[in-house]
Amino acid sequence: MKGVIINTFENFLNDTFGVETWDNVLDEAKCEDVFVGTKTYDDKVFFKLFMTSIEMKGLVADEALKLFGRYALPVLMKYGGDLVSHYENSIDVLLELDSIIHVEVKKLMDEARPPKFIIEKIDDKKLHIHYISDRNLPSFVEGLLEGLAYYYNEKVDIKSQKQEDGTYIFNADYSE
């Protein structure tokens, strides 16, 4: 996992639970790493820190991932800079997330391993979003989708369906 995601998780915890939180999580997890945004860290390190933090705070994993997704979206949009500043709504972003945005991220960041998304446009207001990742974090995706709608002042209704292979398809409805 890229350091930028872990740094964002640090800021999420400190903003939500107070400035000491991250240091306490690092102590509890006996982690001495320093996280640099562009560097890659073993996914196990992130998951250990995530599990430690939810145990310490008494949170449910899926709820915490969803909140983290909402928090992370505007951070990623800022990080994406010129790559994403011309988009005007969620659907336009999502239609190019897999084919352009994450492709550019991989060019710019050595070893970045974003997930795969297969996006199907049902009509002007509806998408089917198929999320495929060995990290399999559907609640994080749900939070990001909610964060994206909030970013553009939209309302969205999101329903997720687990597929037989364990991946998830989200039905996102932006009509309202």
Which residue number, 25 or 84, has a Cβ lying nearer to ligand HEM?
84
**Residue 101 interacts with ligand HEM (CB under 6 A)?**
yes
**Residue 97 interacts with ligand HEM (CB under 6 A)?**
yes
Query: Residue from 141, 149, 156, 172 that binds ligand HEM (CB under 6 A)?
Result: 141
**Residue 112 interacts with ligand HEM (CB under 6 A)?**
yes
**Residue 49 interacts with ligand HEM (CB under 6 A)?**
no
Asked if 7 and 40 touch (Cβ cutoff 8 Å), the reply is: no
Query: Residue from 9, 50, 71, 140 that binds ligand HEM (CB under 6 A)?
Result: 140
Asked if 139 and 69 touch (Cβ cutoff 8 Å), the reply is: yes
Number of Cα atoms under 13 Å in the Cβ half of residue 33: 19
Q: Can you tell me which residue has the tokens 């002007």? A: 124
CB atoms within 10 A of CB 48: 15
**Residue 33 interacts with ligand HEM (CB under 6 A)?**
no
Asked if 137 and 129 touch (Cβ cutoff 8 Å), the reply is: no
Q: What's the rounded Cα separation, in Å, for the pair 172 and 91?
A: 9
Which residue number, 13 or 137, has a Cβ lying nearer to ligand HEM?
137
Asked if 104 and 122 touch (Cβ cutoff 8 Å), the reply is: no
CB of 18 to ligand HEM, least distance (A): 26
Q: Which residues in the 68-87 window bind ligand HEM by CB under 6 A?
A: 76-77, 79-80, 84
| Helix, strand or coil, per DSSP, at residue 124 | coil
Give residues in contact with ligand HEM (CB under 6 A): 1-2, 4-5, 76-77, 79-80, 84, 93, 97, 101-102, 105, 109, 112-115, 133, 135, 137, 140-141, 144-145, 148
